Structure 1
Amino acid sequence: MPIHLNRLVAGLCLALSPASAQAQDADTAQKLANPIADLISVPFQLNYDEGFGPDGDGSRTTLNIQPVYPFRLNEDWNLISRTILPVIWQEDVVPATDQTGLGDTLQSFFLSPRDAGSNGGLIWGAGLAFGLPTATDDALGSEKWTAGPTATALRVDGPFTYGALFNHVWSFAGDDDRRDVNQSFLQPFVSYTSPAAITLTASAETVYDWESDSWAVPVNLIAARLVNIGDQPVSLQAGLRYWAESPAGGPDDLAFRLGMTFLFPR
């Protein structure tokens, strides 16, 4: 190949590579909006809420460690493991006391078809959720073992992703002196991912407690940016949450969320 043609090809490759890399980053960033994407990730989500307790003086900081690992069972199905392990620091949630330690763990498994969502179709997964009494302090957990169904469904429409995540758990074992657990969770969400791998997400993490007939409804507005630290892709998130509804003694008004997610694309 003539020298001038070699230089032309090399120049084209250099010109196209950044755009190609940017498109790949945007695609990876959009996958994060999918709770059951075929993507290994380890999110760290930090939430700060206040307004707890009878006088509204309590505050809570929660670091949720949320590894997601999809197992490829065969050519047709994935089994996605999603874990939420909370580390909690709280003051005056129980009046005149402070607690620090682990909360209860929620472990979910979703069975999902690997070709779900092809050609713009519905992406879905369904399975079971289990609550494990891993709290290191009575005030940080339910002291109950729980289980129940979980499911998610979503669509990807260009740069938009929209759908919902659901679970319902009942207690079946644990400390007989503690209140039973009978709780529904519904998280509708919509997100937009830009070509620069910036994602804006609106969601509501609705919880209904059937035992106390009470609602907890924080509404979240989160901005995220996918960056590369060396060869490691990382999503950085920040945003606000507003408590539209909360149970008696629960949080209120505005709160904030920060996050960092380590990604391991296959």
Structure 2
Amino acid sequence: MTYIFNIQKTVRRPGLLLVFFLVLLGNSYQAVAQEDTQSDAATDANVQANNPLASIKTFNLHNYYVPNLSGLPDATSNTMWLRYAQPIGRFLVRGSLPISTVPAANQTNKTGLGDFNAFAAYLAVKNAKTTLGAGPLIAAPTATDDALGSGKWQGGLAVIIFQVVSPQLQIGGLITWQASFAGQSDRVNTNVMALQAFAIWQLGGGTYLRSTGISAFNLENGNYNVPFGMGIGKVLKTEKLVFNIFAEPQFTVLHYGVGQPKLQLFFGLNTQF
């Protein structure tokens, strides 16, 4: 699962004191102001660590392990997504490349690269509370095996929104749609929509609860999968980097079609720099 926005509060330091007897009062006020500033900055950093539209370079490792697939007894799958996002002017460009292990014929597994995809989201709305963007999406047939990709060039659209409801609660959504327009003629055409609603609840100290399940709808053959996730994460800050680690089990609520996840174990590491 973009456009860019930062919530940065600035607390001015107390001005120079003009009279000597106010020095102690001024120092006390400055200490309180600095403490409030550090608290605000920490809150903002925790919020931005989960903002897909943050105006910060990011590199993410996201892994989905599926221990049970519908209609495929004893089959499992695993996909790790390598994702890099960078702001360019008022656009946020994000590229994603999967490394997957999936069940194939003769009860064997195939492991390798999947199809690369990228989108460039233009920030139509960008303020302290709400960021909204949309832009084109393209997917390239980079899979190293037929079982790992579509064999098709695909184009589409991405729409994303991030809303700061309060310092504790942030919500948003990502909608992507892509359909094939070129590629291997003997492969099935694609027409896929994905809907991700996410909610983040800050617990304090960089710890938060999260729900970020992605519902996938294959508009070509009617298959679909609707999960619900509930997980926990932790934001860790250094001088130049912000690390965000999390784990989120996602339980399938509705599904149709062979090979749909019944349960996904989603965990990852987000890095902002």
Q: TM-score range by the shorter chain?
A: 0.7 to 0.9
CA positional deviation for 1:253:
3.3
1:45 to 59, 62, 65: 62
1:169 to 154, 178, 181: 178
1:79 to 91, 94, 101: 91
2:52 to 35, 46, 59: 35
Within 1, Cα distance between the matches of 2:218 and 2:126?
33
With over 3 angstroms needed to count, the CA separation of the structure-2 counterparts of 1:231 and 1:150, relative to structure 1, is closer
* Aligned residue pair count: 255
Which residue does 1:75 correspond to in 2? Answer: none
Partners of 1:41 and 1:69 within 8 A in 2: yes
The SS at the match of 2:47 is: helix
Which residue does 1:129 correspond to in 2? Answer: 137
Within 2, Cα distance between the matches of 1:204 and 1:93?
25
Within 1, Cα distance between the matches of 2:188 and 2:69?
19
2:100 to 67, 82, 88: 88
CA positional deviation for 1:53:
6.6
1:215 to 205, 224, 245: 224
Partners of 2:49 and 2:242 within 8 A in 1: no
Which residue does 2:116 correspond to in 1? Answer: 105
Where does structure 1 lack aligned partners over 5 or more consecutive residues?
Answer: 73-77
With over 3 angstroms needed to count, the CA separation of the structure-2 counterparts of 1:257 and 1:16, relative to structure 1, is farther
TM-score by length of 1: 0.84
Letter matched to residue 134 of structure 1: T
Letter matched to residue 183 of structure 1: V
2:243 to 228, 234, 245: 234
Within 1, Cα distance between the matches of 2:217 and 2:39?
41
Partners of 1:206 and 1:218 within 8 A in 2: yes
Identity %: 23
Where does structure 2 lack aligned partners over 5 or more consecutive residues?
Answer: 1-21
Letter matched to residue 98 of structure 1: N
Letter matched to residue 60 of structure 1: S
Which residue does 2:72 correspond to in 1? Answer: 55
With over 3 angstroms needed to count, the CA separation of the structure-2 counterparts of 1:204 and 1:225, relative to structure 1, is same
Within 1, Cα distance between the matches of 2:76 and 2:30?
53
With over 3 angstroms needed to count, the CA separation of the structure-2 counterparts of 1:223 and 1:95, relative to structure 1, is farther
TM-score by length of 2: 0.82
Residues 1:150 and 2:158 aligned together? yes
**Deviates most, 245-254 or 140-149:** 245-254
Pairwise CA RMSD of aligned residues? 2.8
Which residue does 2:13 correspond to in 1? Answer: none
Taking the TM superposition and a 5 Å limit, the aligned residue runs for 1:177-192 are: 177-192=186-201
